[in-house]
Amino acid sequence: MAQTAILGAGVMGETLLSGLLRAGRPVADLLVGEKRGERARELTERYGVAVVSNLEAARQADTVAIVVKPQDMADLLAEISPELRPGQLVVSLAAGITTAYIEARVPAGVAVVRAMPNTPALVDEGMAAIAPGSHCDDVHLAEAESLMASTGRVLRVPEKQMDAVTAISGSGPAYIFFVVESMIEAGVHLGLPRATSTDLVVQTVVGSAKMLRETGTHPVVLREQVTSPGGTTAAALRELEIHKVRAAFLAAMEAARDRSQALSGE
Ligand SMILES: NC(=O)C1=CN([C@@H]2O[C@H](COP(=O)(O)OP(=O)(O)OC[C@H]3O[C@@H](n4cnc5c(N)ncnc54)[C@H](O)[C@@H]3O)[C@@H](O)[C@H]2O)C=CC1
Ligand SMILES: O=C(O)[C@@H]1CCC=N1
């Protein structure tokens, strides 16, 4: 099978690496480029993967997945560009970095795909979106799709939607964990032992997510089923409305979208 290089093996790079291995990619078909020596050794010990220089990885691989922070993207592209060649595929998982930004920094004819995964990919429940750049054919897009599909679902979207995707599903797990953390803390305030509160909240979130996916019922309907007239849920939801939680979610996701848009310009 074709070689795939992962450049930048932090949280998301390791998530992609481990997902590809779980999905059955032979470790011999994978290469990692990672700046921090200690981290590189850790990955070789954990997965038996070869860690090589970025240049060597770019030279050997047919597909190069770039998983460094957006702020490190320009330096990395400048480093590997001499080894990139037309027909090769670069998949960027970096927030905010446009395909045009990458295409301007690599040789003409290199295919570029912008991808936005999320961390539930670690448990094969990821949600990723991909968007093609201007020299990307169907074969390249299918390869990027198969890369991301190793850890969950993948949607193809137009690139103009990618900043919104980043705000919703890319950052999304953090919002859910924030809600979970807040509910656990509330349980403790109500007198529950922390372990009991954690069990109650985690299973409630898992069960609610499963209902959403398996019934396909609109969340408003599911919420109404929980909300008895004059009952406990109505009392709680009224407080959430008074505290403008819905408006806060909208403002939060607009801020994430705006931050994503700004990253290509930095
Ligand atoms: N963490 C998340 O939930 C998500 C992250 N992303 C994107 O993934 C990218 C990486 O994010 P994280 O993994 O969270 O960051 P991280 O900081 O955990 O990992 C980045 C890794 O890149 C390495 N690195 C930096 N410059 C390098 C270079 N020139 N050559 C080789 N390695 C280099 C760093 O040593 C580090 O291990 C970012 O662009 C982020 O926007 C996308 C979706 C979700
Ligand atoms: O916070 C970030 O910038 C990255 C992108 C999406 C999730 N984490």
* Residues 152, 36 within the same domain: yes
For 81, the domain range is 4-165
> Residue range 193-211: average pLDDT?
98
Total domain count for the chain?
A: 2
* Residues 176, 115 within the same domain: no
* Residues 221, 115 within the same domain: no
Q: What is the CATH number of the domain that holds 220?
A: 1.10.3730.10
What's the length of the chain?
Answer: 266
* Residues 177, 161 within the same domain: no
* Residues 152, 183 within the same domain: no
Q: Would you say 64 and 88 are in contact if contact means Cβ atoms under 8 Å apart?
A: yes
CA of 32 to the centre of ligand 2 (A): 21
* Residues 111, 183 within the same domain: no
* Residues 159, 219 within the same domain: no
**Domain boundary at 115, 132, 165, which?**
165
Per-residue pLDDT tens digits for 222-244: 999 999 999 999 999 999 999 99
- Best residue for ligand 2 mutational test, from 166, 258, 263 (most atoms within 8 Å of Cβ): 166
CA of 255 to the centre of ligand 2 (A): 12
Nearest ligand, CA 76: 1
**Domain boundary at 125, 148, 165, which?**
165
Q: What is the CATH number of the domain that holds 154?
A: 3.40.50.720
- State whether the beta carbon of 92 lies less than 6 angstroms from ligand 2: no
Cα separation, 65 vs 13, in Å, equals 9
pLDDT-based confidence at 264, cuts 50/70/90?
confident
Q: Pick the residue whose CA is nearest to atom 28 on ligand 1.
A: 35
Per-residue pLDDT tens digits for 37-80: 999 999 999 999 999 999 999 999 999 999 999 999 999 999 99
* Residues 151, 19 within the same domain: yes
* Residues 183, 161 within the same domain: no
Per-residue pLDDT tens digits for 125-180: 999 999 999 989 999 999 999 999 999 999 999 999 999 999 999 999 999 999 99
Residue 152 has φ and ψ, to the nearest 5°, of: 150, -155
- State whether the beta carbon of 170 lies less than 6 angstroms from ligand 2: yes
* Residues 112, 199 within the same domain: no
Q: Sheet holding 89-92: strands in order across?
A: 50-51, 30-33, 4-7, 63-66, 89-92, 111-116, 126-132, 152-156
CA of 248 to the centre of ligand 1 (A): 28
**Domain boundary at 147, 165, 183, which?**
165
* Residues 16, 110 within the same domain: yes
CA of 211 to the centre of ligand 1 (A): 33
* Residues 135, 150 within the same domain: yes
How far, rounded to the nearest angstrom, does the alpha carbon of residue 135 sit from its chain's CA centroid?
Answer: 24
